[in-house]
Amino acid sequence: MMRTGIGILGPAGTFSEMAALKWVGLKRMNLETEVEMRYYDTILDVSESILTKEVDYGIVPIENSLEGSVGETLDVLSGENAEPGTQMQIVGEILVPIKICLLALNNFERVKKVVSHPHALAQCKRFLRARCKDKEVKPVDSTAVAAKQASQSEEIAALASETAAAEYHLRIIEENVQDRDSVTRFVVLSSTNMRTAPTGRDKTSILIYLKDRPGALYDVLGEFAHRGINLTKIESRPSKRAMGDYMFHIDCEGHIEEEAIKDALAGIKKRVAMLKILGSYPMAEGL
Amino acid sequence: MMRTGIGILGPAGTFSEMAALKWVGLKRMNLETEVEMRYYDTILDVSESILTKEVDYGIVPIENSLEGSVGETLDVLSGENAEPGTQMQIVGEILVPIKICLLALNNFERVKKVVSHPHALAQCKRFLRARCKDKEVKPVDSTAVAAKQASQSEEIAALASETAAAEYHLRIIEENVQDRDSVTRFVVLSSTNMRTAPTGRDKTSILIYLKDRPGALYDVLGEFAHRGINLTKIESRPSKRAMGDYMFHIDCEGHIEEEAIKDALAGIKKRVAMLKILGSYPMAEGL
């Protein structure tokens, strides 16, 4: 039987793993017999594992509804670190609500120290102030590391995901302890050339580098506007050539096999210095 | 005599301090008798010190030519955390080349450990691999903290700024040890209502929230394009209301007292759900 390898940010129990599990469910894959999760330290490592075909898919965070875009993922998509001849495309996207839970082995009364990733601690400031005044609060490398530490001592509690609770056999003392709700969008990357088939509710992602003249971006956006194509995102990233020099990541509604999208992209190609099609894929549920 | 207070990210010796010193020089202020630097832990703390008039100016990083925008600064400019009735504007910008130096008290041969901020360590990977193989490499809270540690032991070297070398009386063992050169742009913020006078080489920064319909951004950019106004930057930020809902930061060439800019902004005001003018100010040298 064919096994599918999925590369994600590790260790087990991160929000990336929740995204991967959700995608495995959507694809009706069987976790026990068909799918193997592989854990990597950085987004760049995940992307390299895709390009070298160590894994079939990589799933990485691309934006959070409070924090904004993940620059490392946008840079990986631009392919600047990739060997010539290798390439990857976006074949899917997944939304994961960031639900932070307080986890411990036993009773919270026995806990003396609360640990988590600095971002998670920052996102739960109000909760920590209200409920953890008498405890020590300490940053660690990831929410999953925090859960691991909590699983080793009943004096330690972790702020981490539900998945981490299951992974490290911890009790969920309280859920949704974040100050503000947020959602993280993940993209599924693959080095396959096979195009994802249209579903009727798709998105297309492109990357462009403009010619240097006033109105260049305006003209590109006109190719979408004149065809009534809705943009779902436009994001600038440094071209890394000089301060003030940018590339643009643009997401629009529609599939590259639709006439309107095909025409718009052909029009854009004539107007820009570089156009890269990053993929056409089904829009995440909840968008 | 009137003293001018400038709020920056501390401690002494950070790249923020280099930006502040450069601005003091541009303004021909006297550092000894007129200017007092005040150090804060976060960008949000700097912005609060401006709004409460603890300082006259705040100087914060807004983008780096490799890493991209500093989300915290963009969010501070949107004013979402500000008390009603308080406000601030951008009154200037400064470019600082990020030149990382290897600093120590004495000879590098005696050094056993190299310390710095994780970002600085990441930016000097190649140098560390080539020249510091036999040394321990350890992350600390900031480049300035690293310099301070190096000033306390001849067995510790720091990767930090030139300013930090002067501040902590360290020798510059080697300069420009970063893998790739980059530049950081800082903005000067003030809560004064006084508008910065036109210089003939200015920039205007605005923040907009679009009406929800296809082509909304295209129409806004048209107000600039039809008047031949050059955009220097456009950046999306989460509105924090929902995934996929954004505000746009737009910088254009020109001063708000110029007719073309005035007309463009009047045209934009009619097209958007929200327009906030963040300031008109002299463009940094080197742009």
The reply to whether B11 and B84 lie within a common domain is yes
DSSP for B111-166? --EEEE-HHHHHHTHHHHHHH-TTSEEEE-S-HHHHHHHHHH-TTEEEEE-HHHHH
| pLDDT for res B81 | 66
**CATH number for the domain including B81?**
3.40.190.10
Please answer yes or no on whether B225 and A232 come within 8 Å at the CB atom: no
The domain total for chain B is 3
pLDDT tens figures, A12-52: 888 999 999 999 999 888 877 789 999 998 899 999 999 99
Residue A238 domain-assigned? Answer: yes
B165, B190, B215: which is the final residue of a domain? B190
Residue A287 domain-assigned? Answer: no
Confidence of residue B85 (pLDDT cuts 50, 70, 90): low
* CA distances, B19 to each of B16, B36, B60, B94, B284 (Å): 5, 14, 9, 6, 11
Nearest CB neighbour to A231, from listed B217, B222, B238: B217
Residue A39 domain-assigned? Answer: yes
Looking at residue B226, what DSSP letter applies? T
> Nearest-CA neighbor of A58 among A83, A28, A88?
A88
Please answer yes or no on whether A242 and B65 come within 8 Å at the CB atom: yes
Angle between helices B43-51 and B71-78 (to 10 degrees): 20
Buried/exposed code over A140-149 (b: 16+ C-beta within 10 A; e: otherwise):
bebbbbbbbb
Confidence of residue B31 (pLDDT cuts 50, 70, 90): confident
Please answer yes or no on whether B238 and A66 come within 8 Å at the CB atom: yes
For B281, the token pair is: 């100010």
Asked whether residue B148 carries a pLDDT value surpassing 60, the answer given is yes
Please answer yes or no on whether A244 and B95 come within 8 Å at the CB atom: no
d(CA B202, CA B275): 20
d(CA B100, CA B84): 41
Strands (E), chain B: 4-9, 35-40, 57-64, 68-69, 89-97, 101-104, 113-116, 136-139, 156-160, 171-174, 183-190, 202-210, 231-238, 246-253, 272-282
Asked whether residue A232 carries a pLDDT value surpassing 70, the answer given is yes
Instruction: Give the residue numbers spanning the domain of A233.
Output: 202-282
Residue B221 domain-assigned? Answer: yes
Confidence of residue B172 (pLDDT cuts 50, 70, 90): very high
Confidence of residue A5 (pLDDT cuts 50, 70, 90): very high
For B148, the token pair is: 């301070």
Residue A255 domain-assigned? Answer: yes
Residues in chain B: 287
The reply to whether B93 and B8 lie within a common domain is yes
**CATH number for the domain including B219?**
3.30.70.260
Residues of A in contact with B68 (CB under 8 A): 71, 236-238
Residue B115 domain-assigned? Answer: yes
Helix (H) or strand (E) holding A257: none
Confidence of residue A84 (pLDDT cuts 50, 70, 90): low
> Nearest-CA neighbor of B190 among B1, B2, B12, B6?
B6
d(CA A146, CA A131): 18
Residue A196 domain-assigned? Answer: no
The reply to whether A236 and A278 lie within a common domain is yes
Residue type, B178: Q
Across the A:B interface, residue pairs with CB atoms under 8 Å apart total: 103
Helix (H) or strand (E) holding A35: strand A35-40
As a whole-number percent, the residues of chain A with pLDDT over 70 amount to 98
